[in-house]
Amino acid sequence: MKTPRILVFGGSLRAASFNQKIAAIAADGARDAGAEVTVIALRDFRLPVFDEDLETAEGMPEAARELKALFASHDGLIIASPEYNSGLSAALKNAIDWVSRATSPDEPPLSVLRGKTAAILAASPGGYGGARGLLQLRPLLENIGVTVLPEQVTIAAAHQAIDAQGRLQEPAQEAAVKGLGARLTHHLS
């Protein structure tokens, strides 16, 4: 049995992101289940807004190349997606757009995404817990060749549910988030 490699991140650029915090909890569940886990923050990859003219003139930005290499070197993804105005964040969409690009004429389209499996989850201060953003993220990922686990977790009232140490206060929620990371690990094993 191989040890799956899982890339974990939140789809927000905010330093105190609720989604980065629950991504870390899901990463713990994946690690506990035997995965090799890499947790990153999108804020560490300063990406310009995707612009094909910029790409043609200057090539893929170095930050996008680094992020793409991380995607390529992992078997699966745990993505905690914030919900901005009932949709997914521009930062998350932009990161996916850059990573999806071929960097050589012989590279197949979407090559670092096709065949990956993802677990998705969300946290939001609102009552829907980010579910509306996940309604957009799931088909986006599936349309570019990523298998998305049918289970997902949402955390409503995240500002109250997540404590100062970045842990969920309700044991059932903590177990659900860790369980999602474990399910992805078992799926990839």
Looking at the DSSP bridge assignments, the partners of residue 17 are: none
Q: Tell me how far the alpha carbon of residue 29 is from its chain's centroid.
A: 15
pLDDT along the chain (189 residues), means of 10: 94 94 98 98 96 93 97 98 93 97 91 96 93 96 97 96 92 97 97
The C-alpha atoms of residue 21 and residue 73 are separated, in whole angstroms, by 23
For 177, phi then psi, to 5°, come to: -70, -45
Domain, as residue range, for 98: 5-188
pLDDT for residue 47 = 97
The C-alpha atoms of residue 114 and residue 56 are separated, in whole angstroms, by 24
Looking at the DSSP bridge assignments, the partners of residue 122 are: 154
pLDDT for residue 160 = 94
pLDDT for residue 2 = 86
The C-alpha atoms of residue 182 and residue 189 are separated, in whole angstroms, by 10
- What is the total count of domains within the chain? 1
pLDDT for residue 107 = 93
Read off the CATH number of the domain in which 134 is found. Answer: 3.40.50.360
